[in-house]
Amino acid sequence: MEIAQKIIILFITCLILIKINQKIFHSILKKQNKIHFNFLSGIITAIIVFITISLIGMQFESTKEIFKSILKSSGLFVAVAGFAAQQTLNNIISGLMISIAKPFDIGERVYLVNSGITGIIETITLRHTIIKGYDNQRIIIPNSIINNEILRNSNYDDSVIGNFLEVTISYESNLRNAVSAFESIIINHPLVITNENYNPGVIVKELTERGVILKATVWTKNVSDNFKASSDIRIQLTECFKEKGIEIPYKKIQIIE
């Protein structure tokens, strides 16, 4: 068989194996969208590509012995890879550490203290972690950086997340009625979790020129539920305050022509 034919067969085999790998993990991720499955899929794809390149290299007399040595000696491969692409290898190792330790998972909301970034973990690849910001933009962070970040994860070791809600009422409004209504609306929402460990805890956060700021915590089992619950609570709160005559002060927006 000619070298060109062997290379074509190896190339096609590589594409088929990658496709099978993607299909298997796509099926797994539908049932369990976990961060280590995403990373493992990337690792397997990289191994398939590496072996294919090595086998293709072995088809030529000038590079045959080099690629044979690389395949036989993982230590040599690591040394070469480390010398040629230290940062890439660092990202891969960091990604592996993240997927094993699992400081966060797909769909969880995290806050990167050093960078001041907040968003939802969307996926992890061999080189970077993708975070979906609240403005719907994707933030792509190298694994080596996120591995050294100080993270705040609402979901870590817990199945419940909390989100703060604030509302300002005028000084002329009945403060106790407002607090009672705020708490009641949160507690009675079907997506909100309330027990001795998780309660709205409506408090007076601050007294400002505009009015009294009330603050509460909405506890739900995941981020999607929290967005939905918080939206519903704001709508119900606006309607309830209007019905009870509780005023929400507002600022007039100046249009500069």
- pLDDT for residue 257: 44
Domain end (from 84, 101, 119): 84
- pLDDT for residue 43: 78
- pLDDT for residue 185: 93
Whether 9 is covered by a domain: the verdict is yes
Q: Which residues in the chain come in under a pLDDT of 70? A: 1, 29-36, 38, 69-87, 154-159, 250-257
Whether 90 is covered by a domain: the verdict is no
C-alpha 193/C-alpha 218 separation (Å) is: 8
- 117 and 166, same domain (yes or no): no
Residues 6+ apart with CB under 8 A from 256: none
- 137 and 209, same domain (yes or no): no
- 188 and 145, same domain (yes or no): no
Total domains in the chain come to 3
Whether 26 is covered by a domain: the verdict is yes
* Angle, CA of 48, 85 and 29, to the nearest 5°: 40
Whether 249 is covered by a domain: the verdict is no
H/E stretch holding 210 reads none
Residues 6+ apart with CB under 8 A from 253: none
Residue 175 near residue 165, CB atoms below 8 Å:
no
C-alpha 85/C-alpha 102 separation (Å) is: 25
- 7 and 80, same domain (yes or no): yes
Residue 100 near residue 106, CB atoms below 8 Å:
no
- 147 and 165, same domain (yes or no): no
Whether 79 is covered by a domain: the verdict is yes
- 183 and 202, same domain (yes or no): yes
Domain end (from 68, 84, 100): 84
- pLDDT for residue 71: 62
- 38 and 65, same domain (yes or no): yes
- pLDDT for residue 181: 92
- 18 and 74, same domain (yes or no): yes
- pLDDT for residue 36: 67
- 116 and 178, same domain (yes or no): no
Give the distance from CA 2 to its chain's centroid: 48
C-alpha 36/C-alpha 97 separation (Å) is: 10
- 34 and 69, same domain (yes or no): yes
C-alpha 227/C-alpha 47 separation (Å) is: 40
- pLDDT for residue 232: 93
Pairing type for strands 117-124 and 161-169 reads: unpaired
pTM for the whole structure: 0.45
Whether 31 is covered by a domain: the verdict is yes
Structural domain containing residue 201: 161-244
Whether 192 is covered by a domain: the verdict is yes
C-alpha 191/C-alpha 220 separation (Å) is: 6
C-alpha 7/C-alpha 82 separation (Å) is: 27
Residue 112 near residue 59, CB atoms below 8 Å:
no
- 114 and 145, same domain (yes or no): yes
